[in-house]
Structure formats: structure tokens, C-alpha cells
Amino acid sequence: MAVFTSWLALTWGQTLAVVFVIWLGYATVLAVQRLWLSPIAHIPGPKLAALTQYYEFYYDIVLGGQYTFKIMELHQTYGSVVRINPWEVHTKEHDFHTHLFGGPTRPRQKWKFWTKQAIWRPSALSTIDHDHHRLRRSVLNPFFSTQSVRNLQPVLEERVDALLQAFHKLAATQSGTPINIMYPFSAFTNVERSDFGREVTNSLLMGTHMGPFIKHASWALALINSMPESVSGRWIPGWSGFLKMKNSILEQIEKITATENTGQWKLDVSHPTILHDLLSSKLLPDREKLPARLAQEGQILVQGGTLTSSWALSLATFHLVNQAPILRKLRDELFDAIPDADEVTPLAKLESLPYLRAVVRETLRYSIGTSGRLSRIAVNEEFLIHDHERRREWRIPAGTVVSMSPYMTVMDESIFPDPSGFHPERWLNDGDRLDKYLTVFGGGTRSCLGKALALAEMYLVLAKLFRRWGGDGDVRPGDTGVLRIFETTPRDCQMASDYFIPIPYKVGKSKWAPRQTGIERCWTGRTDRAASLSQCLISNSVTLHESFSALFTPYEALHLNDIGCVTPCGSDDPEEGLEGDCGITVVGSGIILRLRELGSISFTFILPLFPKLLEFYRDREAPSLMAGGSPTLLQQVLGGLNKYKASFARPIDSRYDIVLLGGAMGSLFSYVGFNITLSPWHRSVMAALITTRRLLQAIASPLIGRLSDRYGRRTALLTSMCGNMLSVLLWVAAIDFRTFVASRIVGGLSEGNVQLATAMASDISDESSRGSTMAVIGACFSIAFTFGPGLGAWLSTKSLVAANPFATAASFSLALIVTETTYLYFFLPETLPALAVNVVKSDKGEEEKPKAKPYERANSHFVLNAVHFFFLLFFSGMESSLSFMTYDLFQFTSGLVASIFQGGVTRRLPPLLSVRIGVIACLAAFFLLGRVSGIGGLYAAATCLAVTSATVVTGLNALSSFEASEDERGGKLGILRSWGQMGRGLGPVLFTSVYWWAGREYAYNLGATGIALVSAAVLLSLKTPRGSMQPASVERPTARITCDDTARVDDGSEVHGRGGELAMMTMDSGDDRLNFACRQERPWI
């Protein structure tokens, strides 16, 4: 009872601390177990992946289906066997798949974590236990055997003929209209014809797209299922179609059950569906015949028979039409084997045609089927995997999750040369050897149930379609029509994301997104294009949906409604053109401005609270020392500072502490003055805290910069913001000095907003506006430091929690940071050029990624870093000696002066000129301060320092960005900031010590000498970057063109357009290619 009472007596802050300690202990034990005591601890791989599954979550969810590609990188680093999460081992030893998938006498179980992504949990696909899976599968197998599928050929023929008849009808009424072939191929779904007797009317890709997230957050599916269907169907995209299909199947099950003992049951059994067989099966116990389970079994059969087959047929059609030699060979074979296009050709005969078989095999390889990795657990069997690359053997204990990825097998260049190309010929001479690597259907007892049906669909559709329809390279007498490619390239057909099925590329910025595949149909004798390309898909996709009763195309379910009819993202004003990035002004003046104001204001809340915070902690910890306890961390820090002050040759009074405090807190001219009557210990401890924080920032800045170069500015910024949130959360709970110090350490290591905002400004601004964009960021910083401390001081007077009087200010700061992070997560685009590549057209008309050009530097980064360090060493040291004088004489802050100067003057100066003006102004300020005797001199010095504060750091940031290529800019700016923070951290301590040891005049003369050397380096060593010089005025030829046409500008150059809207194009003379943005842009704000 005493323990329980003492627990209740804990404050909420102490309770949080106890919970944190318990969690930390659990996390430590878990980390030790996973890294060193796990049965697969010996398997190579990244330690972070072995430690937590959030490593996979980042690539799967945050980046969107990119973990498969990351695993490929890990194999290059660690070998063909790698640990990819705490429980799973992945191998790319392609011959191992026969061992992995097992067989009837070598049972394999599925991994429970993998089955979470299947919305249809009780289906055979998601069954974990081997024997239970065999029970469920045994009832389904007869329906999908090779013989059953061949018996179903009349039904399949009927569907294919209906499909081609719909094509012919559109040819007669809407000649030349582009269509998305995913629509008719999605409508051609035979499973639901034989099973359910009706067509599916809603998209099934929604479930697949949700799968990866549900796999990591299974509670989301439970939450959705707990909602009323009227709510979830309305508010969750695509869910209404899923519910409609589920309820339709349930209705059929109830109808069949209700007629079990009637004549209607016997009539239905004469043409049975899978549902009839499942309900009447004597192999299944009654619990396996529950309507809810059977409905989910039906849903997974429909999805499996729709998405993968329609995608494969779309790819086959595209590549055949796109490559005339392949189409010609296929049609030669079809015309020889099928003289009469209307005759029925048995499936067995079609499967025996060599080239058609090669086309089908190559289509299966290229379409991949299920791109997600296939995992198995051998409960009673130990695996031995031979790593042929590293010449090692890895022993995998029984019960371990082992996986392989079909994508890595079918795209392995050592097995399939030129894997990104479509080459049916590879299967003609070496097909028997390659067949074992065609793992798209899986293997073992859990291989794809509908393999025979999928192959039958492909043979029938391709044979009938290309027996009657030709392409640009092969038009024959009697052809119904001609197929032509519309706004689609081979790259659009390659996998860009893995959502268990492959999601292809879409030309766009900032993130991988799917792109639809389209075919423009131009009929024989009528090859005119659509009259209005701007209406090419918006109207006709609806027409196709009505004509074919089609499913929504899978890639429309991801909210990408257009194939290639996109709108230009620029102005029609000839003076503006379409240079650079549409929306650059919005990002520059919107997101970054809000980032700096909101983020810096929340950061500055704590500045005026330091004295009261320290006094609070001192008074709270004093009783423990008086009672004979060990000195606390705060008391140890005070003891060390007192020993340091005692080492001075002259007496120390409060003035030393004031000057030490003033500079250590930050820039004088963007800072609200503190109460100068504070006791010396307050100021000493505060100076030590902030100096330490700056040194931590010096350590973290290069790391954050490199993170942003590799993974993107957005990712790095959101990671930094999470660290800031943790820092402020610790402050909210800090009822002792140690917790407060921990919050400052976390904050110091996470502070990356300034450098990342600078890097983003460099990304989105062109070279002529780089300096002005940097100045805007500096102005935001100054404004935030002007008003933030005052707001923080006011909030500290509103104490709502007795245990922590500063919880109100801390909580308000936390709310601002959470708001900022949420805003950035939803609205901040990726600005790193490497992740937001513009696509240009090659001389052959194909899209290609612009090649990186050698980067020429005008200035050394070493010189820039040295200038930054020594400038801030002397400048921040000088600031530290002025805080009490400026507050005592001026009684106001000049932070607003600096922000106005940055926003109004600096932004109009070239960066090198800005730096030169700043260092000269700083040199003048040192000269004045060393000899000042009245208020006029202080005003003059303050004006010079305001100029310095507004120009030098901003200009150096701009210069450093000019001297860095796009893929290293974040790291270079991080190193620059690191040197600057070291100067800011060391300068106040060194300068104030000299100030008190040798006197004011000596200290300022020493500082002036240092700044003079810095000025000499700036004036003599630094050069104007090539990109920052304003280009000479040149006449810019213009041409108004229609996207998808070719225009010839005044100098004879050709401009190729894409899309379906009219746009104004401009071209600088001398450019060999115009990279304009005629594409659909994602709104950023």
C-alpha cells in the first residue's frame, strides 16, 4: 500500500519520467536481443533494419513502395543473403526458390506479418498453416486445373469476341479516339463470369494499394471495419466499390443457401460456380462455409483474376505495337496457323505456336505478376544458402522467415540480358532453361491458383486481337483496324513502386507515381487524330467505362486520371514563359517563409525564460544538497564555472556574467534584451548551456545536410522536426535540470531548419535570384527572434501546472512545432533536384533523364568555411560584450532593423557584394566600439552591426550554394553552418575572457585585427560565382506551340511539346535543348 501511495504522489512529470525509463529499459533489452542474441544475428545487413521494422516502414510507406529497390542496394553491399528486418532474411540466389517454396512433403508456412496486408484475411491466400491451406486449396483446385480451363474455352471465346466487337463499335463511331486499354482488359474478367455470373463494377486496386500500410498498421483495417458502411464507403477512397462487391457476393451466397433443397439449386448445379462447390463440398467443415469467409474467398479470386491479367495484356499490346518487327513475326505465325480469323482455334494449338508462346512468356516476365517479395517459413527444416558472390554459406535456422523477390529474378541481367527490353526471341532458343526462373506465379503448394486461366486469357486475347488488328509497322488487307501508341513510352511500362503488384512510372516531380498506359486507335482509311487533344481522356474514359461496363482502371484508383493529356503549368504571358519550375514563387514565398517564422518563433520562446528556469531548478534541487546528498548536475556545473572565474587576475563581478551571457544567447540585433540585474550564476550557466548547444549543432549540421542530399530535403526536414518535437516534449516534462539539459542536447542535435531552408531555397531559386531568396530566409529568422522571446516571456506568466511553471510556454511551443510539421508533411514538396527530375526529349524523341554536367567552382569551400568560422568567432564574441550596454542605453531591440535591412536591401545585392559590405561594416563597428565615449558612437556602431548581421551570413550561404552541385548542396551548407556554429559557440567565451583580462580597448582592437584579416580574405580570395552574375540581355525567340506538336523557333531550333494544351515557350539563344514543363503539376499549397 505504501508503494501504491508513493506512486500516486508522483507528479505527472515524474510519472512521464518513470514511463520513459521503463520504455528505455525495454528498448535496450530488445535492441540487445535483436542485434546480438537473435538466431539470425549472424546474417549481414544494416543494423537499423535488424533493430526495427520502421526501417522497412520508411521505404514502404513514407517513400511509397521503394523497399524492393532498397533491398537490391543492400544486396550489392552485403551479398546475396541479407537481413532486411528483425525477423526476415532475403536472398537473391535465384536457384534457391525450389527449396524456399517447398512441396507437399516439405511444408511451408506463411508469415503472419505478410498476411496482414491482405484485406481478405480468412481466404486461402492468407492462410498461415500449411495443412489448413491445403484443406482450403483442395476445394478450389478443380476449378482452375488445365483441363477445366480448356473446357471453359467457349465461355472465354465469347468474352474475347465481345471485347473485339466493342472495339469495332468504337472504331465506327469514334474513329481516332485515344483509349486506355486497361479499361477493356479490366472488363475482360473471366473468373467472375464462371463464379458469380456478373461483372465487377468497382476498382479492386484500392485494397492492394492499402495493403502495405495495413501490414504495418493492422489496427487501421479494424478501425475501417468498425465503421458503418455508409461512413467508410463515403469517406475512404475506393472503399464503396469494395463494399459493393462484398455485399454482392454475400447476396449470392445467401441466395444459393436459400435454394439448397429446391429445384433451382439443381438447376444452378447444372452450371455450377465456385460458390456452389464450396457450399456443397464434403471436404470443408461447416466453419469453413460461413458466408463471411466465402465472400472474402470470392473477392480475392476476383482481384487475382483482374489486376495482374489486365496489366500483362496491356504491356503485351503496347510492346507489340511499339516494336514492328516483333508484331510482324507474331502476325506471320498467326496468319499461317489461323487462315480464317473467325474460326475457333483450340487452346492446345495456340499454346503450341512457338512465337506466340515466346511473346506470352516474355510478357509474364516483364509484367512481373506480383512484385512483392514472397516469404516462407520452414518450421522443421534448416536452410543452407550458398552466397556465390561472396563464396560463403549461410545457415538459416528452422522457423526463420526467408523471402525472395520475383522482380529481382526476372530483372537479373545475368539470366535475362537487357532485362528492361521486351525480347520474345530469348525464349525461342533457351526457353527450357529460362522457364525455371519465371517465378512470377510463385512455387510449391502455394503457387498461383489461377495460372492456367491467366495463360488461357493471354493466348486467346493476343491471338484474336492481332489476327484481326494491325499496327503501324504491319497493316494487311482485311484488318479491322490499326493500333497506334498514344503518349506512352517504354519507361512508362517499367515498375517504379512495389505495392505487391508493380506500379509503373509517371512523368512528374517529387515522388514516384503510377502512370496509365494508353493506345491511340486509328482505323484503316481513317487515321485522323482526335480533334481536341485537350479532351482526349476526360470524356472518352467515361465512354469506355459505359461501353465495357469496365472496372475503374487500377491506376485511376490512385487519383491519376490522365494518360498524357496534361495541362501546362506556366503562364501564357510571353514575358514569363515556362522556365524553371512552375510554382517556384509559391514555394519560396509561402512554405519557406512559414517554416522560418513558425519554427523560429517556437524555438525562441525559451530564450527569456533561461534565468527563471535555472532559478527554478536551483531552488528545487537545493534541499537535496543541504540534506547531505550528492551534488546535482546543476550544482556541479556551477562549481566548475566558479573555479573558471576565480582564475582571473582581476576581481570578477556581475558585469562579466552579463557580457558572457549576452553573446552566448545569440545575435544581439535579433534578440530581446534580458534583465541585467540577474545574478552571476544565472548568466554563467546559461552561457555554458547555449555554447554547448551550438557545438552540438556544429556536429549535427553536416550529418543533416548529407541526409538531405541522399534522401531529400523533405525527408531530412521532417526528421529534424521530429527531433525538435522530442526536444520540446522533454522540456514540457522537465522538472529537474538533467531532463532540461537532455532536451537541449536533443534540440541541438536536431536543429536543421535553418540549413535545410537554405538548401531548399537554393533548389527552388535560379542563380540570378539565389541571393534574394537567402535574404528572405534571413529576414524571417530576424522577425521570429524579434517577437518570439516576448511571447515566450508572456506565456511563462500563465502557469497552469504547479510541478512545472513553464509547461504552458513549452506546450504552446510544442503545439506550434507539431502544427508546422503537419503542415510540412502534407504540403511541402521535395525540392532536391535529384528526386524531382525533369524529363527531356532526346534527339530520337524518347524521354531521358538530363545528364549531370561537370561542376565548375569559383571559390573553395575550405575558404568559405574558414571565413564563416573566423567571422562569427570575432563577431559573436563582440556581441557578447555589448548586450548590457545596448539594453542600458537604447532600451529597445534592433532585431527589427536587421530584418528590414535583410528583406529590403540584402535581397537585392549579389551575394559576394553583400559579404564584402558586411565585413567592412563589421570592421568599422569594431573601430567605433573600441573608442566609443558617448551614445552617438554606440548608435553608429549599432547601425554598422545591423548591416553586418543582415548581410554576411546570408551572403556566405548563397556563395556556398553556388559552389555546390545539386547532389551535394545540403552537405556543403551543413558543413558551412557547422563551422559557423563552432565560431558562435567559442567566440563569446574567448572574447569575454579577453575583455575582462585585458580591458575593453584591447579586446576590440584584437577583434578588429581578426575582422581585418577576414575582410582581406573576402576581398582578395573570394570571387564572384559564375551563376550569380546577371546574364547579358539577349533576344529570346519565342514560339507558341501546341503540346504534342513540333514548332520551329526563329533561330531554326525545334521545340517538341507533350500533352494537350496550348503553351507559350521561350528559349535562350545558344541552348541546344529546351527543357520545358508541359505536364500536370501536383499542387503544393
Band of pLDDT at residue 122, cut at 50, 70 and 90: confident
User: Does residue 704 share a domain with residue 586?
Assistant: no
Q: Please check the confidence at residue 591 and state whether its pLDDT lies above 70.
A: no
Query: Please, which residues bridge with residue 618 across strands?
Result: none
| Mean confidence (pLDDT) of the chain | 69
Is the distance from CB of 970 to CB of 705 less than 8 angstroms?
yes
pLDDT of residue 383: 92
Whole-number pLDDT of residue 361: 95
Q: Which 3-state string (H, E, C) describes 241-275?
A: HHHHHHHHHHHHHHHHHHCCCCHHHHHHHHCCCHH
**Other CB atoms within 10 A of residue 51 CB:** 16
Is there a single domain that holds both residue 1006 and residue 1050? Answer: no
DSSP for 21-63, please give it.
HHHHHHHHHHHHIIIIISTTTTS-S-HHHHH-THHHHIIIIIT
Residue 108 lies in a domain: no
Rounded to an integer, the average pLDDT of 665-678 is: 35
For the segment 41-69, what is each residue's pLDDT rounded down to a tens digit?
999 999 999 999 999 999 988 888 899 99
For residue 487, pLDDT over 80 is answered with no
pLDDT, position 780: 65
Per-residue pLDDT, 330: 95
Cβ-based burial of 204 (10 A; exposed 0-12, middle 13-18, buried ≥19)? buried
Average pLDDT over residues 988-1005: 73
Residue 239 has pLDDT above 90, yes or no: no
Residue 513 and residue 532 in one domain: yes
- Residue 853 falls within a domain, yes or no? no
Amino acid at 462: L
Please report which confidence band the pLDDT of residue 829 belongs to, taking 50, 70 and 90 as the band edges: confident
Would you say residue 404 lies in a domain? yes
* Residues 272 and 329 both lie in one domain: yes
Residue 112 lies inside a defined structural domain of this protein: no
1043 is in an annotated binding site: no
CATH number of the domain that residue 877 is part of: 1.20.1250.20
pLDDT at 578 over 60: no
Asked, for residue 534, whether it belongs to a domain, the answer is yes
For residues 285 and 190, state if they share a domain. yes
Same domain, 554 and 699: no
Strands 88-91, 401-404: pairing is parallel
Written in H, E and C, the secondary structure of 212-250 is: HHHHHCCHHHHHHHHCCHHHHHHHCCCHHHHHHHHHHHH
Is the residue at 924 inside a domain? yes
pLDDT of residue 903: 43
**Do 533 and 432 share a structural domain?**
yes
In the prediction, which pLDDT does 772 show? 61
Tell me the percentage of the chain whose pLDDT exceeds 90: 14
Q: What is the pLDDT of residues 503-529, one digit of tens each?
A: 887 533 323 333 333 333 332 323 332
Nearest to 439 by CA among 141, 128, 105, 101: 101
| CA nearest neighbour of 502 among 725, 778, 253, 311 | 311
Both 448 and 580 in one domain: the answer is no
Residues 285 and 421 in one domain: yes
Instruction: Give per-residue pLDDT as tens, 866-905.
Output: 887 887 777 777 766 665 344 444 443 434 444 444 444 4
Q: Mean pLDDT, to the nearest integer, of 261-276?
A: 61
pLDDT at 563: 25
Best CA proximity match to 64, nearest among 72, 73, 53, 56: 56
Q: Are strands 392-396 and 401-404 parallel, antiparallel or unpaired?
A: unpaired
Placement of cell 503539376 in the chain? 1081
573 and 669 part of one domain: no
Range of the domain at 25: 1-37
Q: 811 with 818: CB under 8 angstroms?
A: no
Where does a domain end: 994, 1013, 1028?
Answer: 1028
Q: What is the pLDDT of residue 205?
A: 63
**Among 18-22, 346-350, 645-649, 739-743, the range of highest mean pLDDT:** 346-350
pLDDT at res. 231: 80
Do 454 and 584 share a structural domain?
Answer: no
Given a cut of 60, is residue 173 above it in pLDDT?
Answer: yes
Of 231-240, 806-815, 1034-1043, give the range with the top mean pLDDT.
806-815
On whether residue 1047 sits in a domain, the answer given is: yes
Same domain, 582 and 614: no
Q: Do the domain assignments include residue 273? A: yes
Q: How many domains does the structure of the chain reveal? A: 4
CATH code assigned at 194: 1.10.630.10
